[in-house]
Amino acid sequence: MLTQTVESYLAVRRACGFKLKSEGSLLRSFAIYSEERGKHHVCSETAIEWAGRTQSVTTRARRLGKVIRFARHIRAEDHSHELPPAFFGSEQKQRPTPYIFSQEEIRGLVQTVSQSGYRTLRRQTYATFFSLLACTGLRVSEAIQLHFEDITLDGLIIRISKFRKSRLVPLHKTAQVGLERYLKLRRPYAPFDNHLFISLRRKPLRIEDVDTTFKAAVCKIGLKQGPGLPRPTPHSLRHTFAVRALETCPDCRDLITKHMLALSSYLGHSSVSYTYWYLEATPHLMRKIAESSESFIRGGRP
């Protein structure tokens, strides 16, 4: 039965660390759709028909892409399953160009939130929160989930976040001092909750609240926004950290590889390809690559 095959496939991939919430639902829907039509193996015609039941071409490509990935896996043991063609095009969306903050913009952002609203812990909470994102490259969700016990002498322990990975993020001495200063104010405010960052409701911060505070600060400092321009978001602080780290990459070929692998592990990427994406997504880095390539072709040092 195709439904059982889908469940087996999902179990294997989840054991590898993938959550597959939406993909699991879609593949179960495909299996039921196929079996209702008497198909107990992946059939290209049925897969294309099932994927095409939505109006958006992008959604069709995404739905069919998941079936294609599933078919590749199960064909290793049973070639009676067909491998559907990418009938609706690539399922991969083009990632938007990231917004990269300047040092002055980050300084202005932190200063603005530290002076916004009433004179309460909220000011220090968001000033520390955005500062931590900027100097560590943490994901917003990772910073929100930090607890007191995650702060160690060696750095921050990020426990089983995206892709079920845990990692240690070293902290600069200035970052340690900043956290210690914030903790002196934070601990007595909600002593029975051990989340590092909390709201005025004495509960963990919510992503929606972080977004709202960030947007208000961005408007106050006057960052350029509009159609065709990169959009600044809290995640842009992570992008900025990654780009600045790549700018310090050494010239030696072997050292570049080590640098990329180290940065990929530091950021918690599931694949180093996600780290290399910053090279092609950032005009400044692309220009440096082009200049180095031109110099190399002309016989100079790459």
Q: Which of the residues 63, 81, 122, 139 is marked catalytic? A: 139
201 in catalytic set: no
User: Closest Cα partner for 197 from 103, 135, 133, 153?
Assistant: 133
79 in catalytic set: no
What is the C-alpha to C-alpha distance for residues 133 and 169, in angstroms, rounded to an integer? 12
CB-CB contact of 238 with 139 (8 Å): yes
Q: Which of the residues 28, 40, 162, 288 is marked catalytic? A: 162
139 in catalytic set: yes
User: CB under 8 Å to 66, separation ≥6 — which residues?
Assistant: 23, 26, 27, 30, 91
235 in catalytic set: yes
Q: Which of the residues 99, 126, 182, 278 is marked catalytic? A: 278
Q: Which of the residues 99, 238, 239, 266 is marked catalytic? A: 238
Q: Which of the residues 62, 122, 186, 269 is marked catalytic? A: 269
Q: Which of the residues 235, 244, 259, 288 is marked catalytic? A: 235
What is the C-alpha to C-alpha distance for residues 115 and 108, in angstroms, rounded to an integer? 11
Torsions phi, psi of 42, nearest 5? -65, 125
Structure tokens at 227: 């159609």
User: CB under 8 Å to 54, separation ≥6 — which residues?
Assistant: 60, 63
Catalytic residues: 139, 162, 235, 238, 269, 278
